Amino acid sequence: MIGPSLYRLYFRRFIPFPRKKTWLRWFPPFHERNVAYLIAKHRIDFVLDVGAHEGGFGQQLRRCGYRGRILSFEPISELHARLASTASGDRAWTVAPPLALGATSGAAPINVHDESSISSFLALERMPYADATPTQIAPRRQETVRVVRLDDIYDEFVPSPATTLLKLDVQGFEDQVLAGAIKSLEKITAILVEVSLVPLYAGQKSYLELLGELRARGFHAVYFSSVHSRRRHGEEWEYNVFCLRELPG
């Protein structure tokens, strides 16, 4: 087992470098800068941030220079409140009412875990980077949330004309969001989607199925980046994949 580095154990406390969040604000890692570069290259000026959590992706875009519009969706009440606080004061960043996107409209229970970033409509079977045999991991609680189809609200929330990126970080529910976005996808330029090389949730589509579905709808993967970029050794479990409607010339 690899423990903390010698730098962190013995030297970090004596060196007056900024802490992690300040360092990231000054020097965003390459994968964040490259996503912002692709957004700028393809003239994207509207980002649909689906599964916004507490607003981390929006903050990532801002520190990498993106100044276009962001619309964030987050269904869980406690996370939605933190998201609204994060986005406050940014005139180009709007937070939608608490709701989730899916294949059908209605209400559904979502599993809320202590580690809120893994909360999902699907039952969690394996923790990322856990080597134990898959077993269902119970959530801390459930919360009933509103679910809508993107096709039913796209024109209401996205002005025309807009060059749009759809970012999906919905913990195994990606195929359901896409199923409710058949017409919307025709208006979208790019998709940034989180995929799992190892299924984490019951009923989760494999990354090959999900990328194949996107390919069938005209979106081609052009950039992969590790979700857990600080992990330096061992297997990778999750990637963010940037997909374009057309392959670059």
pLDDT for the residue numbered 1: 40
Q: Structural domain boundaries of the chain?
A: 31-239
pTM to 2 decimal places? 0.86
Secondary structure E strands in the chain: 46-50, 69-73, 93-95, 100-101, 106-112, 141-148, 164-168, 188-196, 220-226, 238-244
Residue-wise pLDDT tens digits, 26-38: 668 888 999 999 9
Residue-wise pLDDT tens digits, 103-152: 999 999 999 999 899 999 999 988 876 655 555 688 999 999 999 999 99
pLDDT for the residue numbered 246: 76
pLDDT for the residue numbered 2: 47
Is the Cβ–Cβ distance between 74 and 83 less than 8 Å?
yes
Is the Cβ–Cβ distance between 149 and 180 less than 8 Å?
yes
Domain 31-239 annotated CATH 3.40.50.150: yes
Residue-wise pLDDT tens digits, 189-221: 999 999 999 889 999 999 999 999 999 999 999
Residue 17 burial (CB < 10 Å; 0-12/13-18/19+)?
exposed
What is the rounded radius of gyration, in angstroms, for the C-alpha atoms of the chain? 18
